[in-house]
């Protein structure tokens, strides 16, 4: 088929797998021109689609490896590539069956009619920062789990520390080593030092990850601006920079709050009006970081303390109060960043990160 047989262009849907890609090509009227698997290689995808005309838009679901594949197609074939929200796409399927042909066809058809539920294609420097931030958090979580295992073992043996010794302090570790371990059964006495070694290694790994984060964000003006906010430390700034990327990609603060998973979820029907807690959306790390920040803010600024007391006096539980504080804070931060620091809100990181290139 000649490349000019579809002068209005074609639309491509790609179902991504580790070894192969299911590629569906539709014309302007929605007729299937081809729907078959190809090797997981962007030249193979570009060669197949280009046989049927100029590619107007291509779509694939956001997932592991999807962003890199989209970046490759943009650079190699000069396509307009969109990432689709996998949850929304799943809800839009007309059939409960799942197969590669149907998934690729649905993606191509949604981008053809302009109904594709798009997500932001983060640039390479944001994706690299996210990997570092999430790796650090994984080590922090593993360290916490190791501590919980030690605590659980001590509870099994009904061992309690002295009243005035706080857990995980140097005095607590000394008490554990000199008074507890010698009195435990042999197997339990062997387990605790193994967990202690793991905690020490994970602590070093966290520090190494933080060193890498400081190198990659050195001189970043957006992080410097975030650190000027009350209650925001360097870890919070890293998470906001990595998970949000650019503040100016949202049209208002409410949209940013919803992205962070801090907006109330509506559960209304007919005359019944109700909320059902926070929406289940966004990065769990980002939401947890903002909730932790909400607990610190009342100690940093009187206005947040007054707002907290107002909600508590109204009978709101502490968890709801923290979510409300985080919601209001992130919405205010949006306007401070975009209106007062628009040039900073869209500035990339330093060249050591932005220099990442994706090759086919």
Q: What's the pLDDT tens digit per position in 273-296?
A: 666 677 777 889 999 999 999 999
- The pTM (predicted TM-score) of the whole model is 0.84
Helix (H) or strand (E) holding 305: helix 302-313
Q: Which residues pair with 16 in a beta bridge?
A: 21
Domains along the chain?
A: 9-119 (3.30.420.40), 125-216 (no CATH), 221-349 (no CATH)
Percent of the chain at pLDDT > 90 equals: 65
- pLDDT average, residue stretch 196-213: 96
Dihedral Cα 59, 65, 71, 76, nearest 10 deg: -90
Stretch among 187-191, 293-297, 335-339 having the lowest mean pLDDT: 335-339
Distance CA 333, CA 75 (A): 34
The two beta strands, 264-266 and 81-84, are unpaired
Q: Are 189 and 321 in contact (CB under 8 A)?
A: no
The tokens describing 343, both together, are 């040039």
Q: What's the pLDDT tens digit per position in 247-272?
A: 999 999 999 999 999 887 776 666 66
Q: Which residue has the higher pLDDT, 92 or 54?
A: 54
In this prediction, residue 267 carries a pLDDT of: 65
Distance CA 324, CA 257 (A): 11
In this prediction, residue 11 carries a pLDDT of: 95
Q: Kindly give, in sequence order, each residue whose CB lies less than 8 Å from that of residue 289, ignoring residues fewer than 6 positions away.
A: 235, 236, 239, 240
Distance CA 264, CA 197 (A): 43
Q: Are 98 and 74 in contact (CB under 8 A)?
A: no
The tokens describing 272, both together, are 């019944």
In this prediction, residue 3 carries a pLDDT of: 47
Of 308, 283, 292, 303, nearest to 233 (Cα)? Answer: 292
In this prediction, residue 281 carries a pLDDT of: 74
């Amino acid at each position: 088929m000649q490349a000019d047989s579809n002068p209005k262009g074609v639309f491509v849907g790609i179902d991504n797998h580790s070894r192969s890609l299911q590629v569906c090509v539709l014309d302007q009227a929605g007729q299937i021109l081809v729907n078959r698997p190809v090797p997981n290689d962007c030249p193979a995808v570009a060669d197949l689609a280009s046989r049927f005309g100029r590619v107007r838009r291509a779509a694939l679901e956001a997932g592991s490896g999807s962003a890199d594949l989209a970046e490759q197609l943009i650079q190699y074939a000069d396509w307009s590539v969109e990432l689709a929200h996998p949850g929304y796409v799943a809800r839009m399927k007309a059939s409960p069956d799942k197969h590669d042909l149907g998934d690729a066809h649905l993606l191509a058809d949604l981008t053809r009619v302009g109904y594709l539920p798009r997500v932001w294609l983060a640039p390479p420097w944001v994706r690299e920062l996210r990997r570092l931030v999430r790796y650090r958090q994984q080590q922090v979580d593993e360290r916490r789990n190791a501590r919980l295992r030690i605590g659980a073992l001590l509870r099994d043996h009904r061992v309690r520390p002295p009243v005035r010794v706080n857990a995980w302090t140097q005095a607590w570790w000394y008490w554990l080593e000199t008074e507890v371990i010698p009195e435990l059964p042999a197997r339990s006495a062997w387990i605790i030092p193994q967990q202690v070694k793991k905690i020490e290694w994970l602590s070093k790994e966290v520090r190494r990850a933080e060193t890498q984060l400081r190198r990659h964000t050195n001189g970043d003006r957006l992080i410097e601006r975030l650190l000027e906010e009350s209650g925001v430390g360097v870890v919070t700034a890293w998470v906001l920079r990595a998970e949000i990327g650019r503040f100016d990609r949202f049209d208002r603060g409410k949209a940013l709050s919803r992205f962070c998973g801090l907006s109330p979820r509506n559960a209304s029907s007919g005359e019944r009006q109700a909320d059902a807690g926070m929406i289940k959306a966004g990065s769990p790390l980002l939401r947890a970081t903002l909730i932790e920040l909400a607990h610190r803010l009342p100690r940093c600024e009187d206005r947040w303390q007054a707002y907290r007391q107002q909600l508590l006096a109204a009978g709101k539980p502490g968890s709801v109060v923290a979510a409300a504080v985080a919601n209001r804070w992130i919405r205010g931060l949006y306007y401070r960043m975009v209106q007062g620091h628009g040039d900073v809100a869209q500035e990339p990181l330093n060249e050591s990160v932005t220099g990442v290139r994706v090759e086919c």
